[in-house]
């Protein structure tokens, strides 16, 4: 049996979070979340039977996973390795305020992915390593659906494609996207 992995980014978060670094914080979805969740569930279930269902444990992913589970009958499994990057002290601060306080230091996420992290947060490679550990633990066959976040999807895709870490940011899919790994 072959393996297929569907990486699904959660729907958009609440409007008041626009411009805010929320990373691994548990934040609410936008007001139109029920409609967006229905669209995602339809897109995921249209791709055939699901054998495994994972989510990050954060509410913005759990809501979608619960709806996929209700439609597919597959019990969702929480795996915190699918959480968004931990931005430490930057969590729930406005990006403009972070930039005002740190200047271009935040570019260390891209220019020094192995060593640079926000204060109290994780490096880009720490994010990559935990997502790769999740991926390595997946069952050998069937269709796995993972409700996750932009960062984990980008680092996994970038690593699998052999893309340099400085280009991973361009691999972050829009909210509600489904990325298939065949």
Averaged over 156-173, what is the pLDDT?
A: 97
- pLDDT tens-digit map of 101-123: 999 988 999 899 999 999 999 99
pTM of the predicted structure, to 2 decimals: 0.96
pLDDT in the model for residue 122 = 97
Query: Distance (Å, rounded) from C-alpha 6 to C-alpha 139?
Result: 13
Which token pair is 6?
Answer: 């569907």
Q: Is 112 helix (H, G, I), strand (E, B) or coil?
A: coil
Nearest partner of 50 among 59, 40, 60, judged by Cα: 40
User: Which residues are CB-neighbours of 70 under 8 A, at least 6 positions away?
Assistant: none
The answer to whether residue 16 scores a pLDDT higher than 80 is: yes
Task: Report the CATH number that the domain containing residue 120 is assigned in CATH.
Answer: 3.40.50.1240
pLDDT in the model for residue 160 = 97
The answer to whether residue 31 scores a pLDDT higher than 90 is: yes
Strands 93-94 and 20-21: antiparallel
Domain of 175 in residue numbering reads as 3-181
Count how many domains the chain has.
1
Higher-confidence residue of 25 and 104: namely 25
């Amino acid at each position: 049996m072959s393996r297929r992995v569907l990486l699904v980014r959660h729907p958009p978060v609440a409007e008041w979070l626009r411009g805010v670094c929320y990373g691994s914080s548990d934040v609410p979805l936008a007001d139109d979340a029920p409609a967006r969740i229905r669209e995602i569930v339809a897109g995921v279930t249209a791709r055939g039977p699901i054998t495994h269902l994972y989510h990050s444990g954060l509410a913005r992913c759990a809501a979608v996973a619960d709806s996929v589970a209700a439609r597919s009958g597959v019990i969702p499994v929480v795996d915190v390795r699918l959480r968004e990057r931990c931005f430490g002290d930057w969590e729930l601060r406005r990006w403009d305020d972070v930039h005002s306080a740190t200047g271009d230091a935040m570019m260390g996420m891209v220019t020094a992915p192995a060593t640079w992290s926000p204060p109290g947060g994780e490096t880009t490679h720490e994010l990559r390593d935990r997502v790769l550990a999740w991926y390595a633990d997946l069952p050998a066959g069937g269709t796995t659906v993972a409700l996750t976040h932009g960062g984990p999807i980008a680092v996994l895709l970038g690593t699998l494609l052999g893309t340099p870490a400085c280009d991973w940011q361009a691999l972050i899919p829009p909210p509600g996207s489904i990325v298939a790994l065949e």
